[in-house]
Amino acid sequence: MKVKAVLWSLLLAYGITGCLLLVLAFILFRLEPGEGIAAAGIIFIYVVSCLIGGLAVGRFMRKDRCLWGIVTGLSYYLLLLLVSFLAQGKWDMTFSHAVTTFFMCLGGGALGGMLS
């Protein structure tokens, strides 16, 4: 039951990520705002997706919601790293970017778990 809830929340989080990335790509294509807006949009998408995943897993789990939100955020981050590595075939992320993304994903998941 616990693994199923985490997998379901991850599926939801990545579905939200896909939809929001399509919206961001459309905005970038039509308005051409620059790299700063693109980077801020991606950060926003990471946090919102993990937040929604944390909310979803918190609804399934009645105890330790914050912990399960963190597990969801950590799973999201690890899957994000794995897919990025497999897509590019090499490690293409600075250490500071990896740490920042790690804490954004964990924070979003934890907040979602607490708010559920």
Burial of 27 (0-12, 13-18, 19+ CB in 10 A): middle
For the chain, the average pLDDT equals: 92
Closest C-alpha among 80, 70, 76, 83 to residue 110: 70
Question: What's the mean pLDDT in 52-73?
Answer: 93
Q: What are the respective helix, strand and coil percentages of the chain, to the nearest 5?
A: 85, 0, 15
Residue 1, pLDDT above cutoff 80:
no
Tell me, what's the pLDDT at 93?
A: 81
* Closest to 68 measured CA to CA, from 55, 81, 87: 55
pLDDT confidence of residue 26: 94
Q: Looking at residue 25, what is its pLDDT?
A: 93
Angle between helices 95-115 and 65-88 (to 10 degrees): 150
pTM of the model: 0.90
Percent of the chain scored above 90 by pLDDT? Answer: 71
**Domain boundaries of the chain, sorted by first residue:** 2-115
Residue 91 has pLDDT above 90, yes or no: no
Whether residue 107 has pLDDT greater than 90: yes
Q: What is the mean pLDDT of residues 66-93?
A: 90
**Interval 6-15 mean pLDDT:** 94
Query: What span, in angstroms and rounded, lies between the C-alpha atoms of 101 and 3?
Result: 23
